[in-house]
Structure 1
């Protein structure tokens, strides 16, 4: 009798254990056992978005290494070679030329921000009004150019883009197309350091001339229409791989531009995920997640402003991403649920 009691007790315990384990097995996450190799750009204005995408992947059970910071050419090359799975920092049409390099190997997926990424040239409002400067072509005038010369070489110093950035190729093309080679000197050193120097010069009351994009902390510190103004172009001119976009460079309702629409010379860009095709095929849950996700551009602006004020350490970025997810929990959970369903 005692032996029977022991047998039944053991059997009951095993049954209870089985019941407690079964739901856990049923609830296993689609990404468990898979490590994701994620990239992020060397420019820090998109690291916030990268953290949100990383955390969404982790919510699906994926192991995500800390995103690797890469310039455009090495990222797209690594993606094509199968050494990188994705990043959330493809700018199109600015990165169109890289799509040729990854054809058949990688694809764009979803939209981080659709049509909200502006680009162009700005100068301080005070100098623009005093000297009636409204177009990039005005810099062909050596007297205008000298106003923005800080090193005495007679050329306007333009804060531009470092080598390897998509915007560097477009700026190089436009300097030639607009005949500015003799009067404008693009600064291609570290963008953040060059812009910090420009902000200091502005605060000292000196003229400044710079390229920027949105979202970016620059237009939070130097507000278009108040501190700076956008320069227009007389005729748009883009590199060959973007030629078809020249008709889309007149952007309506641009704050800080004298005209509406504003002929900025750059089309508005879509920010998209770019992912390795093999990774997408093997991970339908990840693919669905990347299709579903998006981040309002004004939220990116707000975070970029926090970074400029000094909250730019890895711990700050993680905290900011956590706070954004908590504030948008229902939306975030909807992405995760849709991704889980795609894996079934």
Structure 2
């Protein structure tokens, strides 16, 4: 059986414990572990509290945990469900069980692999497939084992197993160690590499402040082709990786606010507002920069943003 080397530096909380957590507020928002979803979560919290007088709780959890909890009724909202990353959860809970609804007005996201400008200049790398060359891969070897290292995402992200598939499809799983770790740690490594003029390659996406913080180069790939994008959802059952293939670029993603159908009966005004929320990519990028780079307090930032964008927020509640 084909095997690849993956270095996992974090682990997700147990889904069962998360799903069974008791409700402690009128609306519970599940919050996965990346910057823009956290920014959106705080804006939704302040908006629902200010406009409807509700008590809103933010609760950390992975994508799978949040979707299962929405289905169970212990969480009401996922602020930023990425598609196609979470298509398997959409098929199960939105299309199948119909226990969750998605706001169709999602912002546009992009996903790829990046290097810093300095890395591109030092190594000459321009295309993702070049990582299959052992000599190129050695440029990213930091532990002396002869293989490079590449961050493919965090545990619990829908994109992380897909990046594992892409690494296997291109073949650089043979020349690179695939690192799975929290984004804060990964971006700290990017910061350190830039300061030390070291080479680094890593998963990158928009909306995100990383493109404002550093000069990055997106590695080129063949254009997205639906016929070559075959993703089998990750499963404990062996074979999902071998049955999948994705040696082409990502298609554009949509970032969709999702909420439990039960909210329509329990808090109908909140459900109606969530179905109308619209935040574009530039807005989300600015939000993440304010929280992640400027280190603004999330609650204070959200309150200020809502005050400065009153007309847009009012339209959600009309």
TM-score for both structures, normalised by structure 1: 0.74
User: Per-residue deviation at 1:62?
Assistant: 4.7
Aligned to 1:323: 304
Aligned to 2:281: 297
Counterparts of 1:153-172 in structure 2 under 5 Å?
Answer: 153-172=145-164
Give the gaps of 5 or more residues in structure 2. 1-24, 234-246
Aligned to 1:6: none
Counterparts of 1:130-141 in structure 2 under 5 Å?
Answer: 130-141=122-133
Which of the residues 143, 156, 163 maps onto 1:151? 143
Which of the residues 54, 57, 62 maps onto 1:66? 57
Matches of 1:319 and 1:211, distance apart in 2? 30
TM-score for both structures, normalised by structure 2: 0.80
Runs of 4+ in 1 over 6 A off after TM superposition: none
User: Per-residue deviation at 1:142?
Assistant: 0.4
**Per the alignment, in what secondary structure is the counterpart of residue 251 of structure 2?**
coil
Counterparts of 1:188-337 in structure 2 under 5 Å?
Answer: 188-222=180-214, 227-234=215-222, 236=224, 237-240=228-231, 265-312=249-296, 316-336=297-317
User: Per-residue deviation at 1:275?
Assistant: 1.1
Q: Deviations over 1:195-233 (max 9, x none)?
A: 2112211221111101011111211211xxxx2210122
Q: Deviations over 1:123-154 (max 9, x none)?
A: 12233244432211111110100001111122
Count of paired positions: 275
Counterparts of 1:96-135 in structure 2 under 5 Å?
Answer: 96-102=87-93, 103=96, 104-113=98-107, 116-135=108-127
Report if the CA contact (8 A) 1:112-1:272 is conserved.
yes
User: Per-residue deviation at 1:66?
Assistant: 2.5
- Between stretches 98-107 and 227-236, larger displacement belongs to 227-236
Aligned to 1:16: none
Matches of 1:292 and 1:179, distance apart in 2? 43
User: Per-residue deviation at 1:328?
Assistant: 0.9
**Per the alignment, in what secondary structure is the counterpart of residue 280 of structure 1?**
helix
Report if the CA contact (8 A) 1:146-1:154 is conserved.
yes
Matches of 1:160 and 1:233, distance apart in 2? 16
Matches of 1:44 and 1:331, distance apart in 2? 22
Larger helix share, 1 or 2: 1
Aligned to 2:31: 40
Matches of 2:145 and 2:295, distance apart in 1? 37
Aligned to 2:44: 53
Report if the CA contact (8 A) 1:80-1:276 is conserved.
yes
**Per the alignment, in what secondary structure is the counterpart of residue 111 of structure 1?**
coil
User: Per-residue deviation at 1:241?
Assistant: 5.8
Give the gaps of 5 or more residues in structure 1. 1-33, 243-262, 339-344
RMSD of Structure 2 on Structure 1 (CA):
2.2
Q: Which has the larger radius of gyration?
A: 1
**Per the alignment, in what secondary structure is the counterpart of residue 105 of structure 2?**
strand
Which of the residues 184, 196, 207 maps onto 2:176? 184
- Cα separation, partners in 2 of 1:181 and 1:331, compared to 1, 3 Å: closer
